């Protein structure tokens, strides 16, 4: 059974969009930090639909990958 969300815009599945609360939880940071980053236009790209803000899962995953520090051998 295919459970993929069929509502999309420009090929972006709505199930791939995360709320600020979800991103803050994933990154273990305060929501206020995400709000500050948006105000300063830095760190993670976001999408604004009127008063609503969403993050693409792939952008959040890229942010995590880009900030991963590998251990020394």
CA distance 9 to 15: 11
Res. 7 pLDDT band, cuts 50 70 90: low
Sheet holding 47-49, edge to edge: 17-18, 52-56, 47-49
- pLDDT at 13 > cutoff 80: no
The Cα angle at residue 36 between residues 49 and 18, in degrees rounded to 5: 40
Domain boundaries, the chain: 15-66
Tokens, residue 23: 């991103």
pTM, to two decimals: 0.76
pLDDT digits (tens, 9 = 90+) for 29-70: 999 999 999 999 999 999 999 999 999 999 999 999 999 999
Res. 4 pLDDT band, cuts 50 70 90: very low
């Amino acid at each position: 059974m295919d459970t993929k969300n069929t509502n999309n815009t420009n090929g972006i599945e709505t199930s791939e969009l995360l709320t600020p609360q979800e991103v803050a939880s994933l990154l273990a940071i305060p929501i206020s930090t995400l709000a500050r980053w948006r105000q300063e236009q830095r760190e993670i790209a976001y999408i604004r639909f009127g008063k609503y803000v969403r993050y693409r899962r792939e952008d959040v995953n890229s942010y995590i990958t880009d900030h991963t520090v590998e251990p020394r051998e």
